[in-house]
């Protein structure tokens, strides 16, 4: 998510789009570009250097919804493929079922952090 501060009302606004860095933002929107503030409704002139990237909360909202079914599916698959249903093997299956979604979440959140850091690192 990209945000900038309105020069008229000093409130933060979102900027839609997907940009790898400020240079790409300036090439796409222009330097400086004009945009209507969602709070005060006035047109404001925004420079690419005043736009910052922030991490989205989408992963934090989706993770619990994916985590529980992944645990159940992992437990089901591991217990059906293991011939002996001992309690130790079930605990190992639950451990693996917990690790898989956590690994996926950490990889996705690291990718998001890297994108934000790359955008905010350099100014024009």
- Entry pTM: 0.68
CA distances from 39 to 3, 12, 17, 61 (A): 13, 8, 19, 26
Any idea which residue has 């008229």 for tokens?
8
How many percent of the chain have pLDDT more than 70? 94
Q: What is the pLDDT of residue 25?
A: 82
Mean pLDDT of 47-67: 82
**Residues 104, 97: Cα–Cα separation, whole Å:** 12
Q: What is the pLDDT of residue 102?
A: 81
pLDDT tens, position by position, 81-112? 666 667 777 777 777 777 877 888 888 889 88
Name the residue with higher pLDDT: 92 or 44: 44
Contacts of 104 (CB under 8 A, 6+ apart): 66
Q: What is the pLDDT of residue 84?
A: 62
Q: What is the pLDDT of residue 34?
A: 86
> Would you kindly state where each structural domain of the chain is located, as residue ranges?
2-53, 58-113
């Amino acid at each position: 998510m990209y945000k900038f501060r309105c020069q008229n009302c000093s409130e933060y606004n979102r900027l839609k789009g997907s940009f790898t860095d400020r240079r790409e933002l300036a090439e796409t929107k222009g330097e400086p570009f004009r945009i209507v503030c969602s709070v005060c409704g006035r047109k404001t002139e925004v420079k690419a250097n005043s736009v910052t990237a922030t991490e989205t909360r989408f992963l934090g909202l989706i993770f619990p919804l994916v985590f529980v079914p992944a645990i159940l599916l992992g437990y089901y698959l591991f217990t059906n493929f293991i011939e002996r249903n001992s309690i130790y093997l079930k605990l190992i299956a639950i451990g693996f079922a917990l690790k898989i979604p956590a690994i996926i979440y950490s990889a996705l959140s690291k990718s998001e952090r890297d994108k934000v850091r790359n955008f905010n690192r350099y100014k024009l």
